Amino acid sequence: MFFNFFNSKKFVFRIDFEIVRDEFYNSVSFLFEKFAGLFGYPENPGMPTYYPFEWATSPKGLLLKSLPKHQAVPASMQPQNLVNMLFGDTPQLDPIVKSTYTTGHEGFYNFYVLHYQNMYFLPDWLSKFLQIQFDICIDTEVLDTIQKNLFVFLIVYGEIVFIRTCFFWFLTINPYTYPWVLAVALVDWTDDVLQGFTPSIFGVNITSAIYMMIIGRLADSLNHLVFTMPYLPSEGEKTTLFINGEVKRVIIFHYLPNLWYNYPIPNELREHWYNKEPEVLEFMQKAYGELGIKFTPDNITKTDIDPFDPETKERLFSIYEKLLSIYGSLVIPDNQNYIDINYFIPIDLINNLINI
């Protein structure tokens, strides 16, 4: 009986509270509308929408805002030894994947990356400098190693900053004794640099917190950095592709890199084409031979036989016709057998005719 009475009172109170709440809401809404009516509401919509940056309303800004963000996902923990079990695995990058492809029309070194709004590229001048001065062309293993090591360094340094911050809360630890003084020496110099820009809040120094935020931001940015060798970042073409049943925005790099047209192609790469990938060399000479670009190695001269050079092919064919008309067949002194000209041509004889 008591519980029924209590529940009924509770139900009545809830109804009364809802009525009071609705009345209060309606009264406040009415007062606001009346007050706004003094300024012409609802005919006057108020001040126009203001964007703090002009590019926010531009087509480029709207496109950038509609793009997805690349979310770096930490690698799953897979300890291999006791050190990994105690301190965790080495931090791993989660970079943006470059998808390479080859076509008979575009060539062999084409690739595309998904277009994210938080992706980064090297400046054109820096990418050009690395490719020309250090011959970082197709193989970017050196840059990838630097990127990974820098990421690990920032993560480890961030942990050192965190340890130094903890010293403020553990008063029993003297940070100026060995080995804690190492963390002090590595971190405290940041106070001299940043403290003038970051005032204390309620007497608490927040320099270390801001410094850790900067380190984390830099480390995360390395996950979104894309190397575009052998192309310059500005050569990327923004387009859409149908990938795995979905239409996705991508940045595609294809055809002949601009640097290969304006500067000599690294000789090591040309030697690699000539000795190990003749199909690449043949494609380059067929597709871009009229541009006057040297695709053969430096040790291949005009008098050498280059089987992939169209001019050399034409000269060999004319020599073949001349040999066929003059000799018809050749005698091999060792075994005294006649070999048809279609199967055997003395290389020294060809060289003599080429140099005529």
Residue 167 lies in a domain: no
Selected residue with higher pLDDT from 318 and 162: 162
Is 330 a member of any domain? Answer: yes
Domain encompassing residue 337? 301-356
pLDDT tens track for 89-114? 777 888 888 988 888 888 888 999 99
Region 197-202 average pLDDT: 73
pLDDT at 146 over 80: yes
Q: What is the pLDDT of residues 208-263, one digit of tens each?
A: 788 888 888 898 899 999 999 999 999 999 888 888 878 888 999 988 899 998 89
In a domain, 355, yes or no: yes
pLDDT classification of 56: cutoffs 50, 70, 90 = low
Residues counted in the chain = 356
Residue 15 domain-assigned (yes or no): no
For residue 51, pLDDT over 60 is answered with: no
350 belongs to a structural domain = yes
Q: Are 111 and 99 in contact (CB under 8 A)?
A: yes
| Alpha-carbon span 226 to 253, nearest angstrom | 12
Domain count, the chain: 1
Q: What is the pLDDT of residue 162?
A: 87
Q: What digits encode the pLDDT tens for the residues 3-22?
A: 454 455 444 555 667 788 88
Strand 99-103 versus strand 246-253 pairing type: unpaired
152-182 pLDDT per residue, tens: 899 888 888 888 888 878 888 888 888 888 8
| Mean model confidence pLDDT for the chain | 77
Residue 313 lies in a domain: yes
Q: Between the CA of residue 220 and those of 64, 118, 152, 213, what are the distances in Å?
A: 19, 10, 11, 10
Q: Is residue 151 part of a domain?
A: no
pLDDT (0 to 100) of residue 299: 80
Q: Could you write out the three-class secondary structure of the chain? A: CHHHHHHHHHHHHHHHHHHHHHHHHHHHHHHHHHHHHCCCCCCCCCCCCCCCCHHHHCHHHHHHHHCCCCCCCCCCCCCCCHHHHHHCCCCCCCCCCCEEEEECCCEEEEEEEECCCCCEECCHHHHHHHHHHHCCCCCCHHHHHHHHHHHHHHHHHHHHHHHHHHCCCCCCCCCCCCCHHHHHHHHCHHHHHHCCCCCCECCECCHHHHHHHHHHHHHHHHCCEECCCCCCHHHCEEEEEEECCEEEEEEEECCCCHHHHHCCCCHHHHHHHHHCCHHHHHHHHHHHHHHCCCCCCCCCCCCCCCCCCHHHHHHHHHHHHHHHHHCCEEEECCCCEEEECCCCCCHHHHHHHHCC
Query: Is 189 inside a domain boundary?
Result: no
Cis ω before 59 (30° cut-off from 0) = no
Are 235 and 128 in contact, with CB atoms under 8 Å apart? no
Handedness of CA 221, 223, 228, 233 (dihedral sign): negative
The span from the CA of 326 to the CA of 333, in Å, is: 19
Distance (Å, rounded) from C-alpha 197 to C-alpha 184?
20
111-122, pLDDT tens digit by residue? 999 988 888 999
Contact 272, 324 (CB under 8 A): no
Q: Which of 138, 103, 169 is nearest to 260 (CA)?
A: 138
How many other CB atoms are there within 10 angstroms of residue 16's CB atom? 10
Instruction: Please count the other Cβ atoms lying within 10 Å of the Cβ belonging to residue 231.
Output: 23
Q: What is the pLDDT of residue 59?
A: 64
Tell me, what's the pLDDT at 47? 65
* Amino acid 338: pLDDT: 42
- Provide mean pLDDT across the span 329-343: 45
pLDDT at res. 3: 43
Global pTM value: 0.65
